[in-house]
Amino acid sequence: MSEKRPVKITDTTFRDAHQSLMATRMKTVHMLEVAELMDNIGFHSMEVWGGATFDSCMRFLDEDPWQRLRLLRKTIKKTKLQMLLRGQNLVGYRHYADDVVDAFVSRAVAAGIDIIRIFDALNDPRNMARAMAAARREGAHVQATISYTLSPYHNLDLFETNARRLVEMGADSIAIKDMAGLISPFDAFELVSRLKKVGVPVQLHSHYTSGMASMSYLKAIEAGVDVVDTACAPLAMGTSQPPTESLVAALRGTPYDTGLDLEMITKASEFFKGIKKLYYIPPEATGGVDTDVLVYQIPGGMISNLASQLAQQKAAHLLPEVLREVPRVRADLGYPPLVTPTSQIVGSQAVVNVLLGERYKMISTEVKNYVRGLYGRPTTAVSDELKQKVLGGEAPVEVRPADLLPPQMEAARAEIGDLAESEEDVISYALFPQVAESFFRRRRGLEPPIPEEDKCGFPAAAKPAACREADLSFIYTVDSGLLLADEEDPEQAAYPAG
C-alpha cells in the first residue's frame, strides 16, 4: 500500500506501565516533572488515571487522586487524557450503585479526562452500560472494551458480536484489552480485521508478558488498527507495554509512520531511566519472557500469587496440581477472562479445591456470588454441579447486578461528615471507605503521614530490605485491578454473603 495511514499511539507510562512494573507507585511530582515534555511528543492520548492508580494514591502515597488529575491537566494542555474504568466497578473491586457511577464519571471529566476506556471482567455489557451513558452525557469519548481471552467459547464471531453491541450502546471506539499478553500476532491480525468491519476506530492494548506484543502490534497495524498502547522504553516490556521507541522506529518511512519525534521520546525516556531507580521493581516483572503465559495461558503474576498462597499453607509442592485445576474451575464458571476480580475468584477456589482434596468441598463467598449471577453473565453456562451446590433449586439473579444496589452517595456523605472537604472526597469515600477515611485523617493531621520510605519513592539502595518487604505483597497480579488488598473486608462487600 502507498496510501498514508499513520498509526496513533497512546502512552501508558503514567498509568499501566508503572502499575504493571512498580506496583502503581509513581508519584505525581515525578509525572509533573516530565509532563510538558510528554505533552509535546504528539501522542494520540496519554493514559494517566484509573485502574489501580486511584486507590494507590491514597493508600500508599498520601496523595489525592483528583488533585493528581487536575495538576496533570494543567500541565498537559494539548494531549488527550485517558483513563481506565472497570465498568460498574469504576476504579474499585466491586459493583457500585448507579449514583456513584454517575458522580464519579461526571467529576472525572470535569477534572480533565477526555477518553474513558470502559471494560467489564465478564464482557457483560449490562455492567458497562451506566458508565458508558454517563461518559457520553459528560461529553467524553466512550471507548468500550473487549476483555480478550482464549477459551473454547471465545472466537472471532463472539468478539465481533460483542463489539457491535457496544457500538449500538454508544461506543465511539473499541479497545481490545489483552491484559495478560495472550494475543498472538496472527490472532491479532484476524481479530482487528473483524472488528474494523464494525465501523468505529479500533485500539489494541497488550502486555509484553509473553514476548509477543510488539509482533502482535505490527500484525494489528497491517490489519488496520488505529491506535496502539505503548510505554516509554525504561518502563516498557516485562509485564508492561511494548516500548514506544521501537515501534516508532519500526514504522518510520512506511505508510504507517507515526510521525512522532524519536529524539523527544528519548529525552522523556532519559528522565524515566533516572527516576526508575527510586522505585522498587520486582525482578519477576522485568524477567524477560514469561513462559507460564505461553504454556498455561495463565498470567504469570497470577501464578506467583497462587504459589505464595500455597507456600503460606506449607503446600508449595501442590502448585502443578493447582495449575491444572485453574482451567477446570474457569471452565466450571463459564470461562470468564482472567482479570480482576475473576482471576482472584478462580485462583483462590482452585487452591481450596486442591488443598482440601475434594472439589468444591468448600466454596468461597465470591464463587457463590458469582454463581448467583452477582458479577454478571458468564460467556457460557456455569457447570450444573456448581449450580446445584450453590443454588440448590434456586434460580440465579437475572437482573443487572447493580439493579440490586440502593443509591450510595447520600449515605457516604452522611457517614464521612466533615472529614470530606469536597464532592470528590465523598466519591473517594463511597469507593474506598477505609482507605479514603485514613487518607483524610492523615491529611488533616489526625494521624501521622505515611513515612517517605514506605512509599517506595526512596532510592532502593538506601533501604533495600525494607523496600523489598514492603512491596512483595503487592506484586502485580493480572494487569489492571490487581490489588484486592484490604478492601476484602466482608463488611465492604457490595452484596451480602450467601
- For residues 16 to 55, the per-residue mask of contacts with Co ion, x marking binding by CB under 5 A and - elsewhere, is x---------------------------------------
Q: Does 102 bind Co ion (CB under 5 A)?
A: no
At closest approach, how far in Å is the CB of 324 from Co ion? 27
At closest approach, how far in Å is the CB of 480 from Co ion? 5
3-state secondary structure of 50: strand
Question: Under a CB-based contact definition with an 8 Å cutoff, are residues 10 and 229 in contact?
Answer: yes
How many residues form the binding site for Co ion (CB under 5 A)?
2
Question: Under a CB-based contact definition with an 8 Å cutoff, are residues 303 and 287 in contact?
Answer: no
At closest approach, how far in Å is the CB of 179 from Co ion? 5
Q: Which is nearer to Co ion, 102 or 479 (CB)?
A: 479
Question: Under a CB-based contact definition with an 8 Å cutoff, are residues 106 and 415 in contact?
Answer: no
C-alpha cell at 341: 476480580
β-pairing, 115-118 vs 80-85, is: parallel
- Listed ranges 15-23, 296-304, 339-347, 428-436: which one lies at the site for Co ion (CB under 5 A): 15-23
Give pairs for 59-62: CB < 8 Å, separation 24+. 59/432, 59/435, 59/439, 59/485, 60/23, 60/24, 60/25, 60/450, 60/454, 60/455, 60/456, 61/25, 61/27, 61/28, 61/450, 61/455, 61/457, 62/439, 62/442, 62/443, 62/449, 62/450, 62/455
**Which string of DSSP letters, residue by residue, matches 285-324?**
GGSS--HHHHHHSS-HHHHHHHHHHHHHTT-GGGHHHHHH
At closest approach, how far in Å is the CB of 316 from Co ion? 29
At closest approach, how far in Å is the CB of 229 from Co ion? 8
- Listed ranges 14-22, 215-223, 335-343, 485-493: which one lies at the site for Co ion (CB under 5 A): 14-22
Q: Which is nearer to Co ion, 187 or 479 (CB)?
A: 479
- For residues 431 to 470, the per-residue mask of contacts with Co ion, x marking binding by CB under 5 A and - elsewhere, is ----------------------------------------
Q: Which is nearer to Co ion, 213 or 333 (CB)?
A: 213
Q: Which is nearer to Co ion, 16 or 471 (CB)?
A: 16
At closest approach, how far in Å is the CB of 320 from Co ion? 28
Q: Which is nearer to Co ion, 370 or 476 (CB)?
A: 476
- Tally of CA atoms within 13 A in the half-sphere of 420 that contains its CB: 21
How many residues are present in the chain?
Answer: 498
- Listed ranges 12-20, 122-130, 194-202, 286-294: which one lies at the site for Co ion (CB under 5 A): 12-20
Of the candidates 460, 450, 452, the one whose C-alpha atom is nearest the C-alpha of residue 281 is 460
Q: Which is nearer to Co ion, 234 or 401 (CB)?
A: 234
The amino acid occupying position 230 is T
Residues 471-490 that bind Co ion (CB under 5 A): 479
Residues 245-264 that bind Co ion (CB under 5 A): none
C-alpha cell at 91: 476504579
Residue 92 φ/ψ region, left for φ over 0, alpha for ψ in the -120 to 50 degree band, beta for the rest: beta
Q: Which is nearer to Co ion, 71 or 227 (CB)?
A: 227
Q: Which is nearer to Co ion, 298 or 470 (CB)?
A: 298
Residues 185-224 that bind Co ion (CB under 5 A): none
At closest approach, how far in Å is the CB of 434 from Co ion? 26
C-alpha cell at 47: 493514559
- What is the dihedral angle through the alpha carbons of 134, 31, 479, 351, rounded to the nearest 10 degrees? -110
At closest approach, how far in Å is the CB of 247 from Co ion? 16
- Listed ranges 13-21, 87-95, 267-275, 382-390: which one lies at the site for Co ion (CB under 5 A): 13-21
At closest approach, how far in Å is the CB of 460 from Co ion? 25
At closest approach, how far in Å is the CB of 143 from Co ion? 13
Q: How far apart are CA 258 and CA 254, in angstroms?
A: 9
At closest approach, how far in Å is the CB of 129 from Co ion? 22
Q: Which is nearer to Co ion, 148 or 429 (CB)?
A: 148
Residue 257 burial (C-beta neighbours within 10 Å; 0-12, 13-18, 19+): middle
- Listed ranges 11-19, 154-162, 210-218, 391-399: which one lies at the site for Co ion (CB under 5 A): 11-19
β-pairing, 141-147 vs 115-118, is: parallel
Q: How far apart are CA 71 and CA 219, in angstroms?
A: 37
Q: Which is nearer to Co ion, 440 or 476 (CB)?
A: 476
- For residues 133 to 162, the per-residue mask of contacts with Co ion, x marking binding by CB under 5 A and - elsewhere, is ------------------------------
At closest approach, how far in Å is the CB of 339 from Co ion? 9
C-alpha cell at 94: 466491586
Q: Which is nearer to Co ion, 16 or 64 (CB)?
A: 16
Q: Which is nearer to Co ion, 144 or 405 (CB)?
A: 144
Question: Under a CB-based contact definition with an 8 Å cutoff, are residues 58 and 432 in contact?
Answer: yes
Q: Footprint of Co ion on this chain (CB under 5 A)?
A: 16, 479
